[in-house]
């Protein structure tokens, strides 16, 4: 699994800080006030900002006193591409100055956040500051990311085919177009050999081989190697594939390839769905977690449950898997995984500008095996209200599932960065 973020080389600090003080205050008294707070900031990985040095990370302003509003604005902590972080404390009119400064920044169209420390040793306040710095680092990492779009989005994604320029402007990643022919042509001898090795590993770990023949496994494995080469050549952090063309033209599937790539740390989405792939990349950077893309396929209003289904799932997310055929076509190789019960979060992006977010904490209550749905199937308990909203105000088809409850952190990030 890749680390949650890698926005800067490891040798650089996580953030830089500035101190804003009024000249009206006694310098000695201010030093006694400021030093313990700056020590706390240093403990989080911060260093004092040097205007002559290269920008080293997100900028934090410690608002030591009142009367610093114009001083802070003149130092330009507000930027169009990321929010400002102001740190306030209980004394010397720090909080009033922070409120006034952020209000003016927002009037000018900028974003920002105030973190309130009750004292230098305020563990919860410092945790919130670390989260704010992490959020900005995730934003930077998204802007440094590259998503490969292999072929066009599938024709049925009528609400999930944003212009690549919109993806870049709103969420940050560059979308790299890749010809579908890179994976539809005949594989060379080396790809075939690697595909056979992938097939052997896949078969050895499976509980069972259901519909596919043994001979179906190597072609599915070769797709993995073809996509891996694309990722390497284009320096991609994520990829999404118009995968049904593989079924129709090569009579194999991308299901194994996408599952494997996700487990190798490369976010991989189905059907050329950029919206969902951006969500999966965001979750990887925010949480360091592998996620699963699936169709919301059934609801039970009485039980407040939603059934999600898809023909692939990262094998690391489950306790066991069976090799099945692709549901709609009956061809190729799909992965039917068994996911553990427990807390999960469901995520969906949407809107005309990809500016909207639906995020729901739920409980995975059981795996199912309905013959008329895609192969991996789980039932998630969300409650009636969430199901009502899903039907009345849908953002699109695919949803992303990630283990654990993360709705609060994801809403916080989205509210500052996008919403």
For the stretch 62-84, pLDDT in tens is 999 999 999 999 887 788 888 99
Joined tokens for residue 373: 């749905």
pLDDT at 8 over 70: no
CB-based contacts of 138, cutoff 8 Å, min separation 6: 4, 5, 7, 282, 285, 286, 413
Query: Considering all CA atoms of the chain, what is the largest pairwise distance in Å, rounded to the nearest integer?
Result: 81
CATH code 3.40.50.10940 region(s) in the chain: 15-143
DSSP string, 118-175: SSTT-HHHHHHHHHHHHHHHHHHHHHT-EEEEESPPPTT-TTS---HHHHHHHT-PEE
Compute CA 235 distance to the chain's CA centroid, rounded to the nearest angstrom: 18
Average pLDDT across the chain, whole number: 93
Instruction: Indicate the DSSP class of residue 191.
Output: H
Rounded Cα distance between 220 and 255, Å, is: 8
For the stretch 163-207, pLDDT in tens is 999 999 999 999 999 999 999 988 999 999 999 999 999 999 999
Judged by DSSP in three states, 58 sits in: coil
Of 143, 14, 133, 144, nearest to 83 (Cα)? 133
Q: What is the pLDDT of residue 55?
A: 64
Rounded to 5 degrees, φ, ψ at 126 are -65, -35
The answer to whether residues 337 and 320 touch, using CB atoms and an 8 Å cutoff, is yes
Rounded Cα distance between 340 and 336, Å, is: 13
Rounded Cα distance between 97 and 65, Å, is: 7
Neighbours of 260 (CB within 10 A): 26
> Which numeric CATH code is attached to 146-417?
3.20.14
Joined tokens for residue 125: 């306040």
CATH code 3.20.14 region(s) in the chain: 146-417
Rounded Cα distance between 94 and 102, Å, is: 12
DSSP string, 335-402: EEEEPPPEEEEEEEEESTTS-EEEEEEEEEEEE---TTS-SEEEEEE--HHHHHHHHHS---S-EEEE
Q: Domain 15-143 belongs to what topology?
A: Rossmann fold (3.40.50)
pTM: 0.93
Alpha helices in 185-328 (DSSP H): 189-205, 217-234, 244-250, 255-263, 274-287
Of 406, 121, 157, 147, nearest to 286 (Cα)? 406
Q: What is the pLDDT of residue 259?
A: 97
Q: What is the mean pLDDT of residues 112-141?
A: 96
pLDDT at 10 over 50: no
Q: Which helix (H) or strand (E) segment is 324 a member of?
A: strand 320-324
Q: How far is CA 175 from CA 143, 166, 292, 415, in A?
A: 11, 10, 21, 24
Confidence of residue 1 (pLDDT cuts 50, 70, 90): very low
Q: What is the pLDDT of residue 54?
A: 64
Q: What is the mean pLDDT of residues 394-414?
A: 97
Q: What is the mean pLDDT of residues 290-298?
A: 98
Confidence of residue 35 (pLDDT cuts 50, 70, 90): very high
3-state helix, strand, coil in the chain (%, to 5): 40, 25, 40
């Amino acid at each position: 699994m890749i680390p949650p973020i890698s926005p800067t080389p490891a040798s650089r600090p996580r953030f830089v800080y500035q101190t804003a003080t009024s000249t009206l205050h006694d310098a000695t008294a201010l030093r006694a006030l400021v030093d313990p707070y700056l020590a706390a900031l240093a403990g989080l990985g911060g260093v004092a900002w040097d205007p002559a040095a290269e920008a080293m990370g997100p900028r934090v302003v410690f608002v030591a006193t009142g009367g610093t509003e114009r001083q802070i604005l003149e130092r330009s902590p507000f930027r169009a591409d990321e929010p400002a972080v102001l740190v306030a404390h209980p004394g010397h009119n720090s909080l009033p100055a922070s409120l006034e400064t952020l209000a003016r920044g927002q009037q000018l169209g900028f974003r920002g956040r105030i973190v309130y420390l009750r004292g230098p040793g305020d563990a919860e306040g410092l945790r919130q500051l670390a989260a704010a710095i992490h959020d900005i680092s995730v934003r930077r990492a998204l802007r440094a990311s590259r998503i490969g779009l292999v072929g066009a989005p599938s024709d049925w994604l009528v609400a999930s085919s944003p212009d690549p320029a919109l993806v870049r402007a709103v969420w940050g990643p560059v979308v790299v177009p890749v010809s579908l022919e890179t994976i539809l042509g005949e594989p060379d001898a080396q790809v075939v050999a690697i595909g056979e090795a992938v097939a052997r590993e896949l078969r050895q770990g499976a509980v069972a081989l259901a519909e596919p023949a043994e001979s179906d496994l190597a072609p599915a494995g070769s797709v993995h190697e073809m996509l891996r080469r694309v990722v390497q050549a284009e320096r991609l952090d994520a990829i999404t594939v118009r995968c049904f063309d593989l079924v129709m033209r090569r009579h194999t599937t991308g299901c194994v390839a996408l599952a494997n790539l996700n487990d190798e740390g490369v976010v991989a989405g189905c059907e050329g769905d950029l919206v969902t792939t951006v969500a999966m990349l965001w979750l990887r950077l925010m949480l360091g977690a592998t996620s699963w893309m699936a169709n919301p396929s059934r609801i039970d209003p009485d039980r407040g449950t939603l059934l999600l289904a898809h023909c692939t799932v990262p094998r690391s997310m489950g306790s066991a898997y069976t090799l099945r055929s692709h549901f709609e076509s009956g061809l190729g190789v799909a992965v039917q995984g068994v996911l553990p019960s427990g807390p999960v979060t469901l995520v969906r992006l949407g809107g005309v500008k990809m500016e909207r977010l639906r995020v729901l904490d739920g409980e995975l209550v059981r795996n199912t095996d309905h013959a008329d749905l895609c192969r991996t199937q789980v039932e998630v308990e969300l409650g009636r209200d969430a199901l009502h909203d899903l039907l009345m105000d849908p953002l699109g088809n695919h949803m992303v599932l990630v283990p654990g409850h993360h709705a609060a952190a994801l809403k916080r990030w989205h509210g500052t960065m996008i919403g």
